[in-house]
Amino acid sequence: MSHVAPKFERLLETYRREDGRWWSGVELERATGGVVTRSYVTNLRKGRIENPGMDKLWALARAMGFPNALVRGGAIRRGRGAAGRPEGLAGRVGRLFDAIEDPKTEETYTSSGIVRMSLGDLTEEDVEGLRSGSVSDPPLSHLLALATAFGVEPSYLLDRGEVPLDRELVEALRDEAVREAAIEISRLPVRERRLVLGIVRQFGDPGEAPSA
The answer on 147 and 52 residing in a single domain is no
The answer on 63 and 3 residing in a single domain is yes
The bridge status of strand 71-72 relative to strand 107-108 is unpaired
Compute the distance between CA of residue 14 and CA of residue 130 in angstroms, rounded to an integer: 20
User: Bridge-partner residues for 107, per DSSP?
Assistant: 102
Percent of residues in the chain assigned helix, strand, coil, to nearest 5: 55, 5, 40
The answer on 202 and 119 residing in a single domain is yes
Which of 47, 79, 111 represents a domain boundary (last residue)?
Answer: 79
pTM here is: 0.45
CATH assignment of the domain containing 126: 1.10.260.40
pLDDT value, residue 2: 57
The bridge status of strand 71-72 relative to strand 75-76 is antiparallel
- Residue 74 CA, chain-centre distance (Å), reads 18
pLDDT value, residue 206: 52
The answer on 96 and 197 residing in a single domain is yes
The one-digit pLDDT tens for each residue of the chain (212 residues) are 457 788 888 888 878 888 888 999 999 999 888 889 999 999 988 888 877 877 788 788 888 877 766 665 555 665 544 444 456 788 888 888 877 777 677 778 899 999 998 888 899 999 999 988 888 788 888 988 898 888 777 777 765 444 444 456 656 766 778 878 887 887 788 788 888 888 888 876 555 444 44
Residue span of the structural domain in which 9 resides: 1-79
